[in-house]
Every structure is written in C-alpha cells, then in structure tokens.
Structure 1
Amino acid sequence: MNTDIKKLPEQANNRDNNEIDLSALFWLLLRGWKVIIIFALLGLALGLLYSRYVNPTFKADGLVQIDEKSKGIEALGENISDLIGSEVSKAQTETELIKSRMVLEPVVNLLHLGIRISDPTVGYVDRLSSSRIHTQVNTPEGVILETEEGQVRVSQFNVSQEYSNTPFTLVRSNTGFVLSNDFDDFKGQLNQPHQFRGVDGIIQITVEDLPNREHPISITKQSLQTTTDDINAALTVIEKGQKTGIIELSLIGHNQQQVTLVLNQIIQSYVDQNKSRGSEETTKTLEFMETQIPLLRGKLEDSEAIFNKFREENGTIDVGQEAELLLKENSQLDVQLNELKLKKADLTTYYTEEHPLVIQINDQLQVLNNRKQEIDNTITGLPKIQREFLKLSEDTGINREVYLTMLKNYEQLKIVKAGQIGFARIIDLPISTYRTIAPKKMLITLLALLVGTMLGTMLVLLRSLLRNTVKDPERLESKTGIPVIATIPRSPSLSRLSKSKSSNRLLAYIDHNSLSYEAIKSLRTNLMFSMPKQASADKRAQVILISGESPGVGKSFISGNLAEIFSQLNKKVLIIDADMRLGEMHKLFNTSPDNGLGDYLSREDSDLSNTVHPTSMDYIDFIPRGKQPHNPTSLLASEKFSSLMTELKAHYDYIIMDSPPVLAASDAIILSAYADKVLMVTRYNRSIEGQLAYAIKQLNKANVQVDGIILNDVQQGIMDKYSYHYSYAYGNNQQVSPK
C-alpha cells in the first residue's frame, strides 16, 4: 500500500472554514430550483384559494367635526351668556366616547346587532366554488340572511343572561319552526311572537321566514359586551391630522349596505349623545329657575300688599332728596346682591365653596353688604314713618326687580335651549361605494408566491445544512485532505437500463462512447502511473481496494468497469467480491454467488480452482462472495486468506477487491493490508460529506492511508458549478445531457 500521499495545505482548510463561498451558495440554490419552483407554485395556489375563500370586505367612512359649544345667545345680551360656561371638547377624548357602550348600545338595540345567524351547511368547498358567501343583513325591522334554500328573517330574539352567546338551531317545520339547543326543543308559529321558558331562562323570538326542506339555521344572541367588542374590532376612530378637531370614522364588513347603515347609526347616536350633553347645563339652570320663579312672585306680592296697606294708613310721604338718593342706592345694592346670589347659587351646583369664582363672588357680596349696612345706619336717623316708608318701598322694588330679572333670564334660556345643537357637527355621512378593500388578490398572490419561494429556498438551504451531500470535488479535497482522482459522470444509457432493472452495468457493452467510460479510462491511467514500480523478477499483482462510506455509492460499478478497462491492456485481472454479507458483483457478470470467497475461507477442503471463476471477457477472472458466513471479518483476518492473497498475486497482474462499506463493517481495514491502492467511492448528490470524512478518519485511525477519492454518478448541467470536470469527450463520442 502506497502511503506517500501529500496532504493539501492547511491554509486551504482554514480558508474554507472561515469564508462563505457565495458562488457555491448560488449554485446550491440553482440545483434546488425544482423544490423552489414547487413551493412557489404551492404558495401561489394557496394564495389564489385564500383570495377566493375569503369574503370581500367593504368599507364606509364618515367625518365629524368637534367644535366649540354653540351658545346661540350672543344677541340676547351678555348677562345670560355669563350664566352658562363654555367648554371645548378635545377630539382625542371624543374618539374614546364614540367607541363606548353609551354610544354603541342604542345602535345595537336599533339594528338588532346582537342577533347572529349563519348557514351551517356552507362548507369549505362551497366557499371555494362561490366567489361570495351571503352574510346577514341587520335592519331596524330585523335580521335577514339569504341561503340556497330560501330566506331567513328574524325580527326578535331576546334571551336571558344564561343563554347569551349560546348557539341555537332553527328549522322550518310543517306547522312553523323548531328552536333547539342541546337540551330543549321549542315549537312555534311563523310571524308570531313567542316566549319560551327553558332550563336556563326565558327566550323571546319572532320568526318571519325560514328556508324550505328543513334547512338548519344557526342563531345566537350575543351579549352586549361581545357585540360592542365585535363592532370596535371593525371600527376605526382617529383624528385627521393634529389638533384639527376632525374625527374620521371607518367601519369594515362583508356587506357594503350593512356597513354603511351601521356606521351611519353610530354617527347619529354619537351626535345625539353630544347634543344631550351640550344642553344638560342649560336644562339644569332652567329647572332651578322654575323652582325659584313662584317663590319670587309670592314674595313680591306680599311686599306690595304690605306697602299698599302702609300707604293707605299713613298717606303718601314726601321723602327728602337725601332719602331718595339713599333709597336709590340701596335699591341698586339689593339688585346687585340678588344677582350675585343667583349667580352663586348657579355656580354652587357645579363647584364647591373653595372654587375661585365662588370665592370672588363672596368677596363682592361682602363689599356690597358693608355698603348696605352703612346706608341702613344712615336711614336709621330718619323719622320713624319715613324709615318705614323707605323700607317697605325698598322691599317692594327689590322684589319686583329680582322677579323681573329671573323671568327675563328664564325666557332667554328657553330660547337658548331650543337653539343648542351641541359641539359635534357631521361633515360627511357614510355612503356605499361598493369597492372592495380586501382581499387584495394581486397583493395576496404576490405575497403567497414570495412566501412560497422563500420557504422553498429555506428548505433547500436547510436540507443542504442537515444533509450536506457530496457535490464539489475541491470541497471534498479540502475537507478530507484526500485528492479526488476521478469524477465519473452519469451514463444516460445506464440510467435507462437501471429503470428496467437490467443486471449488466458494464459500460463496454452499453455505453462505450460515453463520458463515463472515458472517465474510468482516465482513472486507470492515474492508477498505472501512481502504482509502485517493481522489479521484473519480483512479479506480483497490483492490488487495488475499492470501498465506500455507505452502501449504494457504486463500488461494484467502479470495480467491474475498472477491471474491464485494465483487461484491454492484455493484463490478467482478478475481481474479488470481498463483501461476503451483501455483495452483488455476481450480477454484474451474470454469474452465481455460490462457490465464492466465503465458501473457500470457511471450508477445510476448499479448492481454489472451484473458487476462481472465468468470465465472458478475456483476461478477467472473478471470485464471488460465496455463501454468507457467520464471521466474515474473522475469516478475512485468518492465515488462510493471507495465503490465498499470496497465491493469487503470483498469477495475476491486477487484483481488484470490492469491500463492504467502511461505516458498515471493519472488513476494509483488514483488506487494506494487502492493497497497493485504497480508493474510496462516493456518490454525487447522495453521499453525505460528513459520513465520507468520518469513514476516512476511521481508516486513518487504523493507520490506513486512503490514496484517492472517486466521485461517482456526477450529473452535468448548466446549474452544476463543476461540470467543467468532464465538459469535453474524446473520439467520436457525442456529448449527451444528463438524465
């Protein structure tokens, strides 16, 4: 065995480990083009099916402006305007209010959105065969669903809390309908309201129409929370721009008419709630005034009666100029005090005594009361009758002024309430455009195609990562340190015969003009010049051991065709099928496996002449595997096998031994002791690089030097990076494309 094989430079190994070969990655993806195309087409098909399976989605839009609260009383004077404060609503706050149950609940009740009906007979095939599946339509009159067997119309369906979100089944009967669940069956008449008492509570239902032929319909009464959650999932409320005060509302669904109707009702419900909130302050003020006006009128009447009685008893009193001024000033102070008290009473309905406005009014009241006290002290000095006259006159004037002021403000506030419109203004109501926004078939198709292509690419890369097959001779040399001395292309003719299970696989008979045959000739030339020179007196056979890392790599194919090539030199060649377990070289020569190596080594009286069999080809003899022994490895390590090899070497020029795979048995290690050349056969795009490297490592551990690697069954094509190894043929060979 020749062990003078130069190792590849260590720098090449380091470079291979540290660099990413982008070109190899590119060619790897090209070699996996079939997988990528299949996954791309699969993704495309799934995308098209999904686009057809999903119901079209429609959209409705509306715009609402949030503005300052409209007072509507600027022309009525500033006094009443001061009684009603102004407030600016922020759009961000209003967006949350729109999605609240306060706004959505009236819409749910009006359109019966809590009632969900569906056709359970519609399956996946129906959804694919039809471009659109009917969905329910909610109206103020009830819920409608079109089916293949007829129309469903339900105008009322209310259940107790225990039955909420519980599915029922509606079926038309001869006399009306049957409503059932897992426990109860309720029978009723069409177009008549019914109330049933079930195990878990009360059920109220009015069914107007059902499909024929006992077509089942699924019906469910959703809870308010579930229904509003479903609406909010399809509802989008955002402010357009920043601080514009314009809110855009969008609702999506599978029925354009339904979506437009629901969104329109949501906007109307919000505007109604907004208007109600805007007039709440005015309403409370009017209610307060309605309670005060009768009291003030009674107080005025009492003061006038007392004053008139005093005048009748004492006559008219001429009050001096000073008294008149004091009276006038005192009267004005009382008017101001009453106005401040009225304003304070209004403010204290919303604020506490610690509010700055209330404190300010209290300070003003204190100043006016102090001045009034000074005037009262001055008037005290007047004559008693005059003082009484002034007091009664003052009380009457004050009561009259307060009553008239209250009455005036009351009438003005009634006008204000009639003109209040809230601070939300509808700009655009939703309209039906009947333009689908989903599914975007073109986008889905492109994305599905892209995802399929990516999955196919990932599968190719993952398969290459998990099963790094043998493809690159240079990579093999770099990974193992063993030269690739031959690359044997795939023979198209042999591939066709393999499909017909033909046993003859010798290229000399079936494809002698092929690239494969020329490659084996090149292998013969390489071996001839690398064999150790021997003296003519020491004539003995050159022994070549051919093995592989695993079964199915083509050891027997290489061994048989290499022997035929050597026989063309008029050299005596012996082929030994040393795989006594599963050897199949006898099929290559159309002979029997009997009376072979196993029989010779296991029998005491065996005869070599009965073990060596001639073949149909000149100069080639063959030793089959024989009957499988129970200890083939021990037989190869015996003295009898050593004597056999010594005897055979004296009669042949070349001995080719086909051994079992290295990873399957240790026979190759024993046989290598008799070999001048140890060759490893590996198969293109099938053998695993790691297994080949491990097999060579196992041989090296046993001090067996592998002299070369034969890369078998290489396929040529424009997507194979290393096709230049056999791109040209010699002689009259025509270049053929791989299978």
Structure 2
Amino acid sequence: MGYIFDALNRGGQEPKDSSKQRPEQASDSQNAGLKFTGTNEPVSENLTIEPPQATQPQQAAKPTPSLATPAAPLVNISVPSQPKPAQRTVNREDYSDVDERLVSLTNPSSVIAEEYRSIRTGLLAKWENRRHLVHTITSATPQEGKTITSLNMGLIMAELHNRKTLVIEADLRLPQFKKLLNLPQSYGLVGVMRGEASFQDALLEVGPNGLHVLPAGTRVNNEAVQLLSSPQMSSMIKKLKREYDHVIIDTPPVVELADAGILGSQSDDVILIARMSRTPSTLIRQAIRTLESYHAPVAGVIATDHSRSFRQYYYYRYGYRYQYRYYAKAA
C-alpha cells in the first residue's frame, strides 16, 4: 500500500496531463522531485524531479520494428455511440481476491486512496474539467508501478458517476490485468484487433462504480507493435475518446519498445512512472526524449519507491509503508 502526495498545484508547476516477468510495484517517493544530473547513477533521494528544459524535441526517426508476422487485415471495429453496460460485470462484495495494491478497491477509505483522489482533482483542474481525454501511463523500464497506477487511477476516476472511464491494457507482451483483478478470461484488446470479438464482447466492468476495463486478452510478442500501430487501433482510440470521458492506456515500458510512443502520440497527455534509487536518470531522460520524438505530450513523472528510512518515517506517521508523489511539468 502507499501514500500519495499531491503536488499538482505546487507553485510554478502545471500538470499535463523477453521472457522476464515484470511484477508491478506500487511504492513511491518522499522528495519534491528528481533532478536530471546526466549521470548513470540511480535516481537519488536527495534529487528533485524537474521536467526537461523547453528545447525542441529531437527529430529522431520513429523506430520501425521488424515484424515477423504479415500485416493483419483491416477490421471494422464498432464502438457504441454511448458507453453501454459491459457484457460481463465483475462485481463482488469481497475484494480479497484482488491484488491488495489496488487500494481503490481493497481499501477505498485509506490515505493512499484519498491521495489518488487528490491527483484526480488536480488532473480535472488542469484540464478545466474537460471531457473526452486520453491519458497514457508508462515507464522507462519494467517494475516501476505503471499498471498499478493505471488501474488505481481508473478506479478513482470511475467514482465520478457523471464521467465514464475506460482503462485499456496495451501491454500485450506481458499482460497483468487478469491476475491483478482476478478477471475471467476475455477476448481482450488482441481479440478485438484481430476481429475475433466485438469491442462490447471484450469489455469487462469492475468495481462498485462501473469502471470499464479492456484487458489485453491473449499474450502476443512480435505482433504487438503491428496491432497497436494499425489503422483500426487508431480508429478505435478516436471513437472511444468521443464516447468516454476518460480513457487510460497502460503501455509497455518506453526503452527498447515502440508501443508507448505510438499510443502516446495519440493521447492528450503521457505520465511517466519512475522508481527512486533504482531508475538511472539517464534512462528517464532517454524515455522522455523517445516519447517526444513521437510528439507524445509528456505531462510529468510519478516517482515511486522511497528509501527504507523514509518508509519507516511514513509507516510511523501514517501507518503505511509507501507513499506516492506526482511531479508535474513546469508551466
């Protein structure tokens, strides 16, 4: 579990919005931010996250992955003109079989859940309560906490009953939604992209507030970029943006994979997750440069996993071992 510290409205800041397993973490930092030092050292507790300088993004060529499979035929994806109830609802009174880090379900009255609500408030204020927004959440490397953050933010957004929220699992290489939420088998995003199921058939509804979730479905590797960069994926995002108030996309890590850049370029904002004392600042900078080369609007960074000493302090003060902090890009 954790404690999220809202820094969305801090002065001078304006938020914008392989076979190795990658278990998602949900722990976070104590400091006011991180400072990019240009070294290869992991992010230090004594540093502060600052956005990259307002320079022109490098005009690097977008990666063109070599695909081992032929191009998939175009599929006409039908999205309802208004979000309809999902075909399958995964509601339950007891969420003991859900990953405990999904505090928006398992402990909605906790400090961490309240601070997720503070981040939600800041995002709504930043966008002046606009609707029909796409938010991409990603990380530089694996095990940063992006999937836990995506689901918790989706669940917190769904508490606003006048706003319909959808979370899409676009990490097709190592999907986690099914395990984290204890979901039934679903065609998922892969099935929709392949034309094996309609969007409505693949959609699931979870939690007491009716969050719509589109899990990945079948795990794919070489086919992932092909599906995510397809015209039908782009068309579906545009349709979903019109029909939902908030669409949150959980993507694979940025470094070495093109997926996050492809989807980030179609989003209203991109939020990067980074672990304190683990992620080298050079990798964070590289991830931001890569995203900007796709013209993806990087809004800020959530730093996770503070040191043991700060853990002990916050455990004493709040009763939780971890805390979160949102770091926004300067105005």
Q: Answer whether TM exceeds 0.5 for this pair.
A: yes
d(CA) in 1 for partners of 2:214, 2:283: 29
Q: Deviations over 1:43-67 (max 9, x none)?
A: xxxxxxxxxxxxxxxxxxxxxxxxx
Q: Give distance in 2, aligned partners of 1:515 and 1:472.
A: 25
| Alignment pair present for 1:738 and 2:288 | no
Match among 160, 169, 180 for residue 588 of structure 1: 180
Aligned-residue offset at 1:624 = 0.6
In the alignment, what sits opposite 1:503?
99
User: 1:715 deviation in Å?
Assistant: 5.0
Aligned to 1:558: 149
Q: Which amino acid aligns with 2:183?
A: T
The answer to whether the Cα contact below 8 Å between 2:193 and 2:232 also exists between their aligned partners in 1 is yes
Greater Rg by CA: 1
Equivalence for 2:84? none
Larger helix share, 1 or 2: 1
What's the offset of the Cα at 1:509? 3.8
Local SS of the residue matching 2:301: strand
Q: Distance in 2 between matches of 1:481 and 1:736?
A: 37
Distance in structure 2 (CA, Å) of the matches to 1:516 and 1:473: 23
**5+ unaligned residues in a row in structure 1: which ranges?**
1-6, 9-464, 483-499, 535-539, 729-733
* Superposition deviation, residue 519 in structure 1: 2.7
Partner of 2:9: none
- 549, 565, 569: which one pairs with 2:160? 569
Confirm or deny: 8 A CA contact 1:598 1:626 kept in the other structure: yes
Alignment size in residue pairs: 244
Q: Which amino acid aligns with 2:50?
A: E
- Mapped partners of 1:599, 1:703: distance in 2: 28
| Matching residue of 2:69 | none
Aligned 8 A contact 1:473 1:711 in 2: no
Partner in structure 1 of residue 63 of structure 2: none
Counterpart Cα distance in 2 of 1:612 and 1:719: 38
Does the residue aligned with 1:704 lie in a helix, a strand or coil?
coil
Is residue 2:93 matched to residue 1:520?
A: no
In the alignment, the residues of structure 2 paired with residue 511 and residue 616 of structure 1 have an alpha-carbon distance, to the nearest angstrom, of 12
The 5-angstrom pairing of residues 47-446 of structure 1 reads none
Q: Which residue pairs with 1:126 in the alignment?
A: none
How far the C-alpha of 1:554 sits from its partner, in A, is 0.5
Q: CA deviation at 1:703?
A: 2.4
Inter-CA distance 644–470: structure 2 relative to 1 (3 Å threshold): farther
What corresponds to 2:42 in structure 1?
468
Q: 1:477 aligns with which of 24, 30, 50?
A: 50
Relative distance call for 1:557 and 1:705 in structure 2 (3 A) is same
Q: Deviations over 1:157-180 (max 9, x none)?
A: xxxxxxxxxxxxxxxxxxxxxxxx
Task: Name the structure 1 match of 2:283.
Answer: 691
Aligned position for 1:608: 199
Aligned-residue offset at 1:529: 1.2
1:701 is matched with 293
C-alpha displacement at 1:673, in angstroms? 2.5
Matched, 1:543 2:134: yes
**1:261-309 deviation line (CA, Å, top 9, x unaligned):** xxxxxxxxxxxxxxxxxxxxxxxxxxxxxxxxxxxxxxxxxxxxxxxxx
How far 1:527 moved relative to its partner? 1.0
SS in 1 for 2:99: coil
Q: Which amino acid aligns with 1:585?
A: F
Instruction: Report the AA paired with residue 616 of structure 1.
Output: G
* Alpha-carbon distance between aligned partners in 2 of 1:695 and 1:568, rounded to the nearest angstrom: 32
In structure 2, the partner of 1:669 is 261
SS in 1 for 2:50: helix
Question: CA, structure 1 residues 567+473, in 2 after alignment: closer, same or farther (shift >3 Å)?
Answer: farther
- Over 3 Å counting, the alpha-carbon distance change for 1:511 and 1:616 in structure 2 is closer
- Alpha-carbon offset, residue 717 of structure 1: 4.0
TM-aligned CA deviation for residue 532 of structure 1: 5.9
Identity between Structure 1 and Structure 2 (%) = 27
Q: Distance in 1 between matches of 2:320 and 2:99?
A: 23
Q: How far did 1:617 drift?
A: 3.0
Query: Which residue number in structure 1 is paired with residue 233 of structure 2?
Result: 641
Distance change (3 Å), C-alpha of 1:515 and 1:529: same
- 1-side partners of 2:47 and 2:175: how far apart? 28
Would the alpha carbon gap of residues 520 and 712 (structure 1) be closer, same or farther in structure 2, given more than 3 Å must change? Answer: farther
Match of 2:298, SS state, is coil
> 1:723-734 maps to which residues of 2 (within 5 A)?
none
Residue 89 of structure 2: aligned partner: none
Q: Distance in 1 between matches of 2:199 and 2:321?
A: 43
Instruction: For residue 197 of structure 2, give the secondary structure of its aligned residue in structure 1.
Output: coil
Q: Report Cα offsets for 1:336-362 as digits up to 9, x if no partner.
A: xxxxxxxxxxxxxxxxxxxxxxxxxxx
SS of the residue 1:647 aligns to: helix
Give the TM-score, by structure 2 length: 0.64
Q: How many Å apart are 1:556 and its aligned residue?
A: 0.9
The answer to whether the aligner puts 1:714 opposite 2:306 as a matched pair is yes
How far residue 583 of structure 1 moved from its aligned partner, in angstroms, is 1.9
Cα deviation, residue 643, structure 1 = 2.0
- Relative to structure 1, is the Cα distance of residues 505 and 614 closer, same or farther in structure 2, using a 3 angstrom cutoff? same
Q: Find the aligned partners of 2:47 and 2:267 in 1 and give their Cα distance.
A: 24
Distance in 2 of aligned mates of 1:582 and 1:676 = 25
1:477 counterpart SS class: coil
2:61 corresponding residue in structure 1: none
Residue 468 of structure 1 aligns with an amino acid whose one-letter code is P
Gapped regions of structure 2 (runs ≥ 5): 1-11, 14-38, 55-95, 323-331
The correspondence for 1:619, drawn from 207, 210, 231, is 210
The C-alpha deviation readout for 1:388-423, integer Å capped at 9, x for no partner, is: xxxxxxxxxxxxxxxxxxxxxxxxxxxxxxxxxxxx
Amino acid at match of 2:245: D
Taking a change above 3 Å as real, the CA distance of residues 516 and 664 of structure 1, as seen in their structure-2 partners, is farther
